[in-house]
Homo-oligomer: A and B are copies of this chain.
Amino acid sequence: MARTKEFDPDAALQAALELFWRRGYEATTMANLVDHLGIGRASIYATFGNKHALYLKALDRYAETGNPRLLGELSRPGPALPAVRAVVRRFAAEAASEEERLTGCFVTNTAAELAPHDDSAARRVEVSWEHLETLLHSALVRAQAQGELADDRDPRSLARMLLVLTQGLRVVGKASSDPARVRDAAEEALTLLD
């Protein structure tokens, strides 16, 4: 009946995610997207709506595919505390890397750039954080049940503290040149789990 699409919408969305992730919302122009996705302007609009809608779709995709392996460790049976430590250390390592300077966490970036004046973006950020906090919380509860964590510790506030810390790591990593700073901060926070 009609001509078929010449590009893979899924791959295009992934490419858009990469670009938004690296440069942010405002700094990414439609011309950049046309170049990077390798498809025509009109096709982008026909497929994804407008720039804002495309950004939200990219954010959704990031949230869905965002490191399922690492976070999966948090809910795997067995010792829970090592998984929590691994997640925090991973955040710190990424925050300290040179590459981080240019990318960071897409959710953190969205929180800082869009959340204050964009409700639909803020909602998604909130969902992501809620998700991570819940994952950390249940891992800590499990750790407590398994005797890895003292009974007098509060898993809820520990999870919140780790969540806030990870977001801080990403922000500090964006402008701080000294990798030791984020590493020290993470290790110090992890002593709360001893």
Contacts and interface: CB of A to CB of B under 8 A. Distances in A.
A84 B27 CA distance: 38
Please report whether the interface of chain A is mostly helix, strand, loop or mixed according to DSSP. helix
A17 to B, nearest CB: 17
Given A125-B176, A165-B185, A165-B189, 4 more contacts: A157-B188, A160-B181, A164-B172, A168-B171
A156 interface: yes
Contacts of A169: 164, 168
6 contacts: A24-B116, A116-B175, A129-B176, A160-B184, A161-B185, A191-B192
Interface residues of A, number: 49
Given A161-B185, A181-B164, A185-B163, A174 B116 contact: yes
